[in-house]
Structure 1
Amino acid sequence: MKTRKVNIAVIGTGRMGSVHVANLIRNIPEANLVAICDIRLDVANQVAEDLGIERVVQDYHELLIDKEIEAVLIATSTNTHADIIIDCAKAGKHIFCEKPLALELDRIDEALSAVEKTSVKLQVGFNRRFDKSFQKVREIVHSGQIGRPSILRITNRDPELPNKEFLKVSGGMFLDMTIHDFDMARFQIGEVDEVYAIGNVMIDPELNSFGDIDTDIVTLKFSNGAIGAIDNSRQAVYGYDQRLEVFCLNGMAKADNEMENTVTTGNSSGFSASRLPFFFMQRYAPCYVEEVRQFIECVLDDLPTPTTGDDGRKAVVLGYAAWKSFHENRPVKISEIG
């Protein structure tokens, strides 16, 4: 039984950061949250007051000179990730960073280079890899019991459009939303050689003004010969639609939607089931705990992280390939991106 705890600080206490802060305090006993940081000091102070955190800072550099802090969790805006990773690596702090590492490949490469020059660990926040159903599908397929995988299908549909101001700086559909599916495709099947993306604005015409889309289908060709299809929508009125299937030569494995409960009601009108969870915070709540718990375990036991900087970079490369395919209306080899 482990008795030592990892002293960790959280940089960024907005929507995702506050979730991680609460999980570290309530659900991950191996971690000792010693400080939080946000440039919006009022936001950080409110989180600290709600959760009983004593130390709050506005400048993350104050945390980096604290020798008692072993690790940091970065949940700031995407455009700050690379700089903070580089500074944390130079300070010798282990790093958990929310996805994406950055929206520019050269900035990602700078950050990964800084990490590689040190002995610090880096984990990227692809939380869906830690979903028990998706993990079970991968376990079945990788065991070989249902033969060689040949077709992957992923459905990922949000219940409503995010805030427009967020969308304008998010990198767009393929780098914000579909990036989760690109990582899941690699997690389930392996490396991707080629993508072909089509999409349109079907929900809100305002997205046209800043070059984004809200509906897409992306087909994938994998290095092992398998093929895949991802479908995304920013608005599914019936709830948060999250499904995955791997079809193999001797069978298939799939993960269906998780409902709010398992109750089915029958009456003279027929049968009705429970609703889907409304959003990702509800659907993937256990995954946010497990991904950080495993990061802490890797720090304690000096293990490699389950989602690496390379995983983070490859997901962004697939996002760029999808945008290139969409704009040029053709299949794009991943080798064209770099």
Structure 2
Amino acid sequence: MAERLGVGVIGVGTIGRQHAANLASLVPRARLVAVADANPEAAQRVAAELAVPAWSTSAEELAANPDVEAVVIASSHFAHLEGILAAARHKKDVFCEKPMTISLEQADQAIAAVTEARVRLQVGFMRRYDPAYVAAKRQIEAGSIGSPVLVKATHRNLSVPPSLTSGGAGAFVDSAVHDYDNARWFLDDEVVEVHAVAANVLGPGCRPDDLSLTTLRFARGGLATVETYAACGYAYDVRTEIAGTAGTLFVGQLRQTGCELATAAGVAHDTVRHWLARFGEAYQIELTDWVRRTLAGEPSPVTGAGLDTAMTTLYGYVLGLAIGETLWDTTSREPLQPTDGVDP
């Protein structure tokens, strides 16, 4: 087994820069050997800041670099497929940030490419590595709440992120996808029915899904609700409840620290302000595990092929946004109810 894994990062925006920094200094068995970004100034700046020996502006050039043994894709959602295909062509294992792609057709292309190339593809759902979410999963596996039957998830941003502006990928693809995956993980089951509704409450400049609500029914009868709100104004508020037949688990909190101020005016405390403040540790743990698994030749816990059903479900939600509400058949990838006159 190799001692360290040479990794290249495609896309060095906010999350890509975080991944690059983790690989450069906080992931013990990784070597950050290359970065790439469509913006040459960004690529060059990050390479200089982190002492990375190579930088480029293309996924193809990075994947072709012989020092790159595996690839992290953190580019725009719309460019994920390009990175996956480049890595597959050069027989490099892949870690791709969620969402894997922005359409079912692209997902099929990605899965076919990595399958033919015999490389591994892991999709980045960092909440599976967050200590609080991991603790909840262990409690479920220990039987502490009996059989889990309901997941209730809230995802509210402090302010509107770029992905939820009029040119972004949208709440269903960018935000709610975390909770779709969590619900499948916590209930250990697959979705068979979906209802999705959305509204534009923040006005021009935001997408029509800046407020959304999704209801899921699972094969064994469990249910889940997922709420997203693009800009609640008070915190980065991500919380989850898992109710079982013998108890309930509560994951997440508004507070960033445990300090409270009590005066005659009342009691006050701080709040989580950014997703990296809440999940920064999870991103580091996730990449550390991916590097270890890649070096050891172990399978990934969240593979592209394993997400095929989840992707089918996800794009049912996107169609649901277009028609107001839909029930989605996750086997046939077709709506179960007619949608006369609607072209998604």
Aligned partners of 2:309 and 2:330 also within 8 Å = no
Aligned partners of 1:258 and 1:283 also within 8 Å = no
Correspondence for 1:176? 174
Runs of 4+ in 1 over 6 A off after TM superposition: none
2:152 counterpart of 1:153: yes
CA offsets, 1:301-321, max 9 Å, x none? Answer: 111112111344444322211
Structure-2 separation of matches of 1:159 and 1:258 = 11
Correspondence for 1:298? 293
2:74 counterpart of 1:75: yes
Structure-2 separation of matches of 1:110 and 1:331 = 26
2:23 counterpart of 1:28: no
Correspondence for 1:114? 113
Correspondence for 1:187? 185
CA offsets, 1:208-246, max 9 Å, x none? Answer: xxx622112211101111111111111112101111111
Structure-1 separation of matches of 2:259 and 2:150 = 32
Correspondence for 2:340? none
Structure-1 separation of matches of 2:178 and 2:284 = 17
**Which residue, out of 303, 311, 316, partners 1:321?**
316
Correspondence for 1:234? 230
Bigger Cα displacement from structure 2, 65-74 vs 90-99 = 65-74
Correspondence for 2:239? 243
SS, match of residue 117 in structure 1: helix
Structure-2 separation of matches of 1:157 and 1:304 = 33
Per the TM alignment, residue 328 of structure 1 is displaced from its structure 2 partner at its CA by: 4.4
For residue 309 of structure 1, what is the amino acid of its counterpart? G
Structure-1 separation of matches of 2:68 and 2:133 = 33
Correspondence for 1:16? 15
2:284 counterpart of 1:289: yes
SS, match of residue 28 in structure 2: coil
Correspondence for 2:87? 88
2:252 counterpart of 1:256: yes
Structure-2 separation of matches of 1:256 and 1:16 = 21
CA-based RMSD of the aligned residues comes to 2.0
CA 1:203 to 1:220, structure 2 compared with 1: closer, same or farther past 3 Å? Answer: same
Per the TM alignment, residue 10 of structure 1 is displaced from its structure 2 partner at its CA by: 0.9
- Taking structure 1 as the reference length, the TM-score comes to 0.92
Per the TM alignment, residue 110 of structure 1 is displaced from its structure 2 partner at its CA by: 1.1
Per the TM alignment, residue 53 of structure 1 is displaced from its structure 2 partner at its CA by: 1.9
SS, match of residue 284 in structure 1: helix
Structure-1 separation of matches of 2:198 and 2:77 = 24
For residue 134 of structure 2, what is the amino acid of its counterpart? Q
Correspondence for 2:342? none
SS, match of residue 117 in structure 2: coil
Correspondence for 1:310? 305
CA offsets, 1:108-146, max 9 Å, x none? Answer: 111111111233111111112111111111111122232
Percent of aligned positions that are identical: 28
For residue 131 of structure 2, what is the amino acid of its counterpart? K
For residue 171 of structure 1, what is the amino acid of its counterpart? A
2:274 counterpart of 1:279: yes
Structure-2 separation of matches of 1:15 and 1:312 = 25
Per the TM alignment, residue 94 of structure 1 is displaced from its structure 2 partner at its CA by: 0.8
Aligned partners of 1:100 and 1:312 also within 8 Å = no
Bigger Cα displacement from structure 2, 168-177 vs 28-37 = 168-177
Structure 1: segments with no counterpart, 5+ residues: none
For residue 254 of structure 1, what is the amino acid of its counterpart? F
Correspondence for 1:335? 331
Aligned partners of 2:77 and 2:169 also within 8 Å = no
CA offsets, 1:72-127, max 9 Å, x none? Answer: 11111222221221221121111111111211211111111111123311111111
Correspondence for 1:163? 162
Counting matched residue pairs gives 332
Per the TM alignment, residue 271 of structure 1 is displaced from its structure 2 partner at its CA by: 2.4
Structure 2: segments with no counterpart, 5+ residues: 335-344
For residue 150 of structure 1, what is the amino acid of its counterpart? V
Aligned partners of 1:103 and 1:316 also within 8 Å = no
Aligned partners of 1:99 and 1:312 also within 8 Å = no
Per the TM alignment, residue 298 of structure 1 is displaced from its structure 2 partner at its CA by: 0.7
Per the TM alignment, residue 160 of structure 1 is displaced from its structure 2 partner at its CA by: 0.8
Structure-1 separation of matches of 2:38 and 2:326 = 43
